[in-house]
Amino acid sequence: DAGVIQSPRHEVTEMGQEVTLRCKPISGHDYLFWYRQTMMRGLELLIYFNNNVPIDDSGMPEDRFSAKMPNASFSTLKIQPSEPRDSAVYFCASRSSYNSPLHFGNGTRLTVT
Amino acid sequence: GENVEQHPSTLSVQEGDSAVIKCTYSDSASNYFPWYKQELGKRPQLIIDIRSNVGEKKDQRIAVTLNKTAKHFSLHITETQPEDSAVYFCAASSRNTPLVFGKGTRLSVIA
């Protein structure tokens, strides 16, 4: 298995632009998570899905952030409009059940100027 | 919700010495406790995990202990090597809560 696949690896954009991050979880994994990592806040959970259904989005910073999972093999995290404080590494991760290991993608490093 | 505290935030040890990282959690329903290692510029990777029906687990130089009564768990690395230098994260979860991570410990192994 190729693991969790994220794209792009790096994204540089200007403030106000829309940013879309993509994720393909490991096949057969029912849970998908979006985390944001910064030096100040560490690894923060933004949202997670179970069987394509959003379960908890309380970590989404504000309405500028949205996430979708249209099918079991694809999810997107969208920021519109982007702001410099959104600069961070965004990780997608998946797992097969609630107490099984979580597998991370390689992350997307987002820089908003 | 779950809250995970991790200490210390930084740790320096001499090569060959042991390193211990400690975490506490708040939700008594938590029953899964993994540890992740993250090297610079890379993704977090699972190094060991423990479930609540077990008090200790070992894998070569790495061991994890769990005290459910006190709600704390620890990572022990023996005979540290320079390649052990990284940021280590603990985490906790239950059936109804996703993984919540500690803030991380930056381990430096000095040759």
Mean pLDDT of B24-37: 95
**Chain A residues 13-52 within an 8 A CB cutoff of chain B:** 31, 33, 42-43, 45, 48
Inspect the interface and report whether the beta carbons of B99 and A107 lie closer than 8 Å. Answer: no
**Across the interface, which of A33, A91, A99 has its CB nearest the CB of B31?**
A99
**Across the interface, which of A45, A104, A105 has its CB nearest the CB of B98?**
A45
Inspect the interface and report whether the beta carbons of B104 and A33 lie closer than 8 Å. Answer: no
Q: What 3-state DSSP class applies to A85?
A: helix
Inspect the interface and report whether the beta carbons of B98 and A42 lie closer than 8 Å. Answer: no
- pLDDT value of residue A5: 98
For residue A106, the chain B residue with the least C-alpha distance is B43
Question: Residues B42-45: contacts with CB within 8 Å, 24+ apart?
Answer: B42/A106, B43/A91, B43/A104, B43/A105, B43/A106, B43/A107, B44/A43, B44/A91, B44/A104, B44/B89, B45/A104
Residue A1 pLDDT class (50, 70, 90 cuts): low
Inspect the interface and report whether the beta carbons of B104 and A98 lie closer than 8 Å. Answer: no
Mean pLDDT of B73-97: 95
Distance CA B20, CA B107 (A): 10
Mean pLDDT of B73-83: 97
Distance, CA of A45 to chain centre: 9
Put simply, whether B37 touches A (Cβ < 8 Å) is no
Tokens for B102? 């500690």
Q: Supply the DSSP string of A4-56, one letter for each residue.
A: -EEE-SEEEE-TT--EEEEEEPPTT--EEEEEEEETTTEEEEEEEEETTEEEE
Put simply, whether A102 touches B (Cβ < 8 Å) is yes
Distance CA B60, CA A66 (A): 42
Mean pLDDT of A26-49: 94
- pLDDT value of residue A109: 98
Distance CA B7, CA A104 (A): 23
Mean pLDDT of B73-88: 98
Distance CA B16, CA B28 (A): 35
Residue A99 pLDDT class (50, 70, 90 cuts): confident
CA distance B34 to chain A (A): 7
pLDDT at B70 over 80: yes
User: What mean pLDDT value characterizes chain A?
Assistant: 95
Decide: A73 and A23 in contact? Cβ < 8 Å: no
Inspect the interface and report whether the beta carbons of A99 and B32 lie closer than 8 Å. Answer: yes
pLDDT tens digits, one per residue of A42-92: 999 999 999 999 999 999 988 999 999 999 999 999 999 999 999 999 999
Residues facing residue A32 across a β-bridge: A49, A94
Decide: B66 and B56 in contact? Cβ < 8 Å: yes
Pairing of strands B19-25, B4-7: antiparallel
**Chain B residues 13-32 within an 8 A CB cutoff of chain A:** 31-32
DSSP state of B79: S
Inspect the interface and report whether the beta carbons of A99 and B98 lie closer than 8 Å. Answer: no
Question: Could you tell me how many residues make up chain B?
Answer: 111
For residue B42, the chain A residue with the least C-alpha distance is A106
Kindly report which listed range (A98-102, B38-42, B106-110) carries the lowest average pLDDT score.
A98-102
